[in-house]
Copies of this chain bind each other. A is one copy, B any other.
Amino acid sequence: MNSSKPYIIRALHEWISDNDCTPLVLVSSEFPEVQIPAGIAKDGKVVLNISFGATQNLELVNEGILFDARFSGVSQNLFVPMDSILAIYARENGQGMMFGDNDEFPEPPKSTDKEKSSTEKSAKKTTDIKKADKKSFLKVVK
């Protein structure tokens, strides 16, 4: 069977959006094929706002997430492959799911300049997102 991860990510994106919250993804920026503007990653991670309001031409396909978004007033084309996505969660309350890597637990979402104010607010609550146990261990907080 193919990976269930893109199906889960689409489901949680819809769930967060339906609840009028802002879906964010935590991405490992050093993963091959990640296409993001220079300078927005910090410590190898970046948090991206993938709400319909903050993006254009958003597509969540099995290979990854692609969209256009403005950075410093300039529209950029971004792509993050599915394997680079460490978590998807709501900015407003930290609810969502964290995906494990093969050998290492992803850390809690960290701030970037772009998302600093919001992730600081949600960071207190992202203890709700429990660490993933190995590759396939996931947690949903209702």
Q: Which residues of A contact B (CB under 8 A)?
A: 1-5, 7-8, 10-12, 14-16, 18-19, 21, 90, 93, 95, 135-142
Contacts and interface: CB of A to CB of B under 8 A. Distances in A.
Number of this chain's copies in the complex: 2
Contacts of A138: 138-140
A59 to B, nearest CB: 16
12 contacts: A1-B16, A1-B19, A1-B95, A2-B15, A2-B18, A8-B8, A8-B11, A136-B139, A136-B141, A136-B142, A137-B139, A138-B138
A82 to B, nearest CB: 11
Closest 3 CB pairs of A and B: A11-B11, A7-B11, A7-B15
Contact of A21 (B1, B11, B95, B135): B1
A140 B19 CA distance: 24
Nearest to A18: B2
Nearest to A138: B140
B11 A10 contact: yes
Nearest to A1: B19
